[in-house]
Amino acid sequence: MSCRHVFPDMTAIACTSFTEAMFMVERGDADLAMIPLENSTAGRVEEIYRLMPKTHLHIIAEHFEPVNHCLLGIKGTAIHQLKTVTSHPQALAQCDQHIKQLSLEPIAGYDTAGLASEISKGNDVTRAAIASSLAAELYGLDILQENFQDVSGNTTRFLILSKNAGLAEYEADSAYITSLMFTVRNIPAALYKALGGFATNGINMVKLESYMGSGEPTGSRFHLDIEGHPDDRMMQYALKELAFFTQEMRVLGTYKAHAFRASNRLLPE
């Protein structure tokens, strides 16, 4: 649905995993990948942070998609007949309270639409899936309950990835996000020192995530989103200070901030 909303004239290719989607773009078999990074209710999609360093993809844009999770069953199913519900762990987490209210057993699977397709091929009225209204349309399922998510305003942030770098041209009156990954040097207070340049230069950090992805027990990697463009002089000073205190630093992309940020002032971290 996100692909439809952002790229209505492009052909969407379904993939069985985020890994497959990202490496299709890496190989040149697809132009873009649209990958969810975080949700306002369930938090980050952790595996994306580990996948990004394994590719050479660039972030060229972001998109915030309002989530309408639907409880789906085969034709003729009544809610009181249900015993289990299956979906991606993120979707299950976003609907946890409603699942408990119906006393359903949650069963985690690899992707929402694929699981909706799976139950559509059977004849079991005790099984439900949590997926989109589009999945119901595609697989001929009944929508037993719309807006099944626990929190209204539930929103997922997507990254749009490309094989080619697409640095947005700097315009003084536009808002930008720069995303990067880095590993700090093994010295006391390295992270504090690395990020200090953003404070002294008036650059706002909107997201900081740590994760282990190098195979080593030390040297955590960090994903950082900051408000700014590398062509801005103060941003250049901040990035130079960050680079001094890091073992490695990779700018993933600079792109215009989505309009959702201005109206909602960011997802909770």
Which whole-number Å values give the CA distances from 105 to 72, 99, 144, in the listed order? 15, 8, 17
The rounded distance, in Å, linking the Cα atoms of 115 and 119 is 6
Residue with tokens 């404070």: 199
Q: Catalogue the active-site residues.
A: 156, 158
The rounded distance, in Å, linking the Cα atoms of 98 and 66 is 18
Contact in structure between 68 and 135 (CB atoms under 8 Å): no
Q: What strands lie across the sheet with 205-211, from one edge to the other?
A: 205-211, 221-227, 176-184, 246-256
Under 8 Å CB-to-CB from 105, ≥6 apart: which residues? 83, 84, 85
Q: What strands lie across the sheet with 155-162, from one edge to the other?
A: 43-44, 32-39, 155-162, 58-66
Under 8 Å CB-to-CB from 104, ≥6 apart: which residues? 82, 83, 84, 85, 128
Contact in structure between 71 and 143 (CB atoms under 8 Å): yes
